[in-house]
Amino acid sequence: MLGLFIELGNLKKLKRTGWVLRGVPNPESIADHSFRVALITFFLADELKKRGVEINPDKAVRIALLHDIGEARITDIPQPALKYVDKSEAERKAVEDLLKTSPLPEEYYQLWLEYEEGSTLEGRLVRFADKLEMLIQALEYESAGASGLDEFWNVLENLRSSEFYGHFKDIVDGLEDMRKQKRLL
């Protein structure tokens, strides 16, 4: 398992290419992103459960922690490359291989698939948290002076049309409000 732990270290070294290509100086790593996605998922899932939604928060957290690990092998291949590379297929195989030395390879891979395919409520919550995290980060960069990130905000539509929007309207709308003022808080 030590080899797996070492390989996961790649996620600390690799910067998220979406920011790199827009000229954000010293942007976050993939691990930085994944960490907050996991915490957001954790809190949102517990909140949903508290409100009576039938969801398994622990499963959601597990999916969140796994959702980007394939990038330890294939890196964060950015948008402009997707025309030339079948990223989804590549990631699928990379995740499968990477998990081979983990305690429950098949189980973890199935969890990852729930994210990739959005086939379960938990998987879709991670997709929601993944986008939310990205927008919070975009806002942070913009509040600190970055520009040229408009494109990212198209994702707000996805959040709005999500099944979770009803529950987290405050967060999504609050985020947009802050964005309009380009200010945190």
Kindly identify the residues of this chain, within the stretch 18-47, that bind a copy of itself according to CB under 8 A.
20-26, 28-29, 31-32, 34-36, 38-40, 42-44, 46-47
Give the shortest CB-183-to-a copy of itself separation in angstroms: 7
Give the shortest CB-174-to-a copy of itself separation in angstroms: 5
Beta strand spans in 21-78 (E): none
For residue 48, the tally of other CB atoms under 10 A from its CB is 19
Contact letters for a copy of itself, residues 81-120 (x by CB under 8 A): x-xxxx--xxx-xx--x----xxx----------------
**Whole-angstrom distance, CA of residue 133 vs CA of residue 137:** 6
Asked if 160 is part of the footprint of a copy of itself (rule: CB under 8 A), the reply reads: no
Asked if 166 is part of the footprint of a copy of itself (rule: CB under 8 A), the reply reads: no
Buried b (16+ CB within 10 A) or exposed e, 130-145: bbbbbbbbbbebbeee
SS3 category, 29: strand
Structural contact between residues 133 and 146, judged by C-beta atoms closer than 8 angstroms: no
Contact letters for a copy of itself, residues 42-81 (x by CB under 8 A): xxx-xx--x-------x--xx--x---x---xxx-xx-xx
The single residue listed with the structure tokens 């098949």 is: 106
Name the segment binding a copy of itself (CB under 8 A); options: 13-21, 118-126, 154-162: 13-21
